[in-house]
A = this chain, B = another copy of it.
Amino acid sequence: MRKTEADLKVKKEFQRYRDIFEDYLEASAGLRNSGVPEKLRESMDYSLFAGGKRLRPVLCLAAAERSGCVLKDALPLALGFEMLHTATLIHDDLPCMDNDDMRRGKPSNHAVFGETLAVLAGDALLALSLEFPLCHSKNVEPHKLLRAMQIFSSAIGPAGVCGGQVLDMDTAPAANDPDYVRKIAALKTGTLIRAAVTGGAALGTDDENFLSCCYEYGTHIGSAFQIIDDILDVSSTAEELGKTPGKDAEQGKITHVSVYGMEKAAKMAEVETMLAKNSILKILPEDDFLPQFTEYLLRRTH
């Protein structure tokens, strides 16, 4: 199959998962919003429906389906991953963090709802990201759901996403340490992408080899994703990107591009892509969506 054909096929499959996810996001409004104060609901929904690639839920659904889980039984967990991702974006944009007024091509949450509600919407989405799959995954076996939630929750706390954000806000002391940028990316972005794949798979199987291949795949695809993100922040336009480009350099953030330069960063993304593909080929055929997705991601422009 030629590259363009392969890309089209991957794109179509990604879109299929994404559509299923978007439908569920709409359909779950009653479940999500029961007992929630109106203003808080508005603020949460504003950011949940602000678009975004839905990378984490798609990876979660694809991995779950390949592990033997019925697709619809993985939807609450997939939504949990998107809720958590959205929560981190809301808090990352706050004046006391990256102070960014634009996100996904729209004013960021605090620019619309104010700082107080933005902090609370982030808190509420963080809590709900775990509550929702814990409470609504009725058809998943308890010990498998528990494992998936262990994987998910471990990715977001102080040794995961939150820890990564602390390092990201405090780059000064280690600006010349090439390991530092990799550590930030691993914690801040990588852990959640890896958890989406591995957590999704854990809903359907407790086979350690399957889960371990998903873990490796998630590690490398998460790493590739962040490197490509750093490259696009330099090379892309606001329109393509849906957020302010060049922000990293402006804020003096260390990124893969600032530390390694564009050429080496691109090479690193290729290596991570290859490693991701090799990991998942141990359990899935070459023409499957998950291995094919690695190279599709490498060629993305936004």
Contact = CB atoms under 8 A, between A and B. Distances in A.
B39 A162 contact: no
Interface in A99-129: 114-117, 119-120, 122-128
A34 interface: yes
Quick one: copies of this chain in the complex? 2
Given A91-B119, A119-B97, A126-B123, A41 B158 contact: yes
Contact of A130 (B123, B135, B153): B153
27 contacts: A35-B158, A35-B163, A36-B158, A36-B159, A37-B166, A39-B166, A40-B158, A40-B162, A41-B158, A91-B119, A91-B120, A97-B119, A117-B166, A119-B119, A120-B169, A123-B165, A124-B166, A126-B126, A127-B160, A130-B130, A131-B157, A134-B146, A134-B150, A134-B153, A135-B150, A135-B153, A142-B142
A154 B169 contact: no
B166 A120 contact: yes
Interface residues of A, number: 51
Nearest to A156: B127
Contacts of A120: 91, 162, 165-166, 169
A268 interface: no
A153 B145 CA distance: 15
A27 interface: no
Contact of A135 (B135, B154, B162): B154
Nearest to A116: B96
Interface of A: 33-37, 39-41, 44, 91, 94, 96-97, 114-117, 119-120, 122-128, 130-131, 134-135, 142-143, 145-146, 149-150, 153-154, 156-163, 165-167, 169-170
Contacts of A36: 158-159, 163
B119 A158 contact: no
A127 B166 CA distance: 14
A158 B94 contact: no
A251 to B, nearest CB: 13
A159 B91 contact: no
Contacts of A159: 34-36
A123 to B, nearest CB: 5
